[in-house]
Every structure is written in C-alpha cells, then in structure tokens.
Copies of this chain bind each other. A is one copy, B any other.
Amino acid sequence: MEERILSFREKARKAGLKLTPQRLAVYKELISRTDHPGAEELYESLKEKIEGISLTTIYRTLASLERAGLVIRVPTLRDKVRYDARTEPHSHFVCLECGRVYDMDCDFKENLKLSEIPEGFEVKSCSLVCYGICKECNSSNK
C-alpha cells in the first residue's frame, strides 16, 4: 500500500499530473477496495473524507489516472464504468444479476496465441472476463 502510493507519486509526476489531495484520495480509495467501484461509489465514500470534493472531479481524476496508466477500466457489459487500480493483467468475474465485479487470477496471457492478431494491429492490453452468477446471488435465489 505504502509503496503503491510512492509509485503513484512518481508515475503521476511523470505523466505531468499535479498531486492534489483529490487525486491522491481517489487513488487511495481505489487501491483499498476490491469491488471495482465506479465514479458514483467513489464519490459516496470520498465526500465524507475530502471536504467539498465533487463528482466532476472524480470523473476527471479517473480519466487522468487512466491516461497515466495508473488505473484501468473493467469491461462489465453494463452501462456504468468501473475502475480497477490493479493494472497488471488479471481477470474479472462479472455477475450478470447484481453487477458485482470480482478479481480472478486466471493466467490467460501465457496461453494466448497472439500470433492470431492481424498485421498492422497494435495490442496494448488484453482482458479476460467471465460473466455469470456470483455466489451471493446464487444463494439468495434459493
């Protein structure tokens, strides 16, 4: 956690991002959670911690952090955009019922036949997502 903050400071600086309390708070919140929150959820948590923070700032901060490679979007198939501060390749499980997003450690990268990517295309990242029904929903459906 501490080291991630340090790395954050450095990466942010490299990307030309000023280190504001808002940005630090958003990033800290994101690495402290495993539920892959969207802008609204981050706002709900942070408005108690950072006085006067606005939803707009959350959105803008997430966009900046994404551009700087400090956070990634999670492909949920749903309307709302969710974010993840784990930027190393890993997988996600998305519940089609409640929308919860879980981390998975499926290592798909090593098995991937990247030879199938057509010439002229440049792959920057890959994402494996499984969709289904999560434990919570499975048990409450009974």
Oligomer: number of copies: 2
Binds B, one of A5-13, A21-29, A33-41, A127-135: A127-135
**Size of interface on A: residues with Cβ below 8 Å to B:** 40
Task: Pick the residue among B73, B118, B127, B133 that contacts A124 (CB under 8 A).
Answer: B133
Does A50 belong to the interface (CB within 8 Å)? no
Residue-wise interface mask of A (116-142) relative to B, using a CB-CB cutoff of 8 A (1 in contact, 0 not): 111111111111111111110011000
Within 8 A of B (CB), among A41-68: none
Question: Which residues of B lie under 8 Å from residue A133 when comparing CB positions?
Answer: 121-122, 124
Given A75-B77, A77-B75: A108 touches B128 (CB 8 Å cut-off): yes
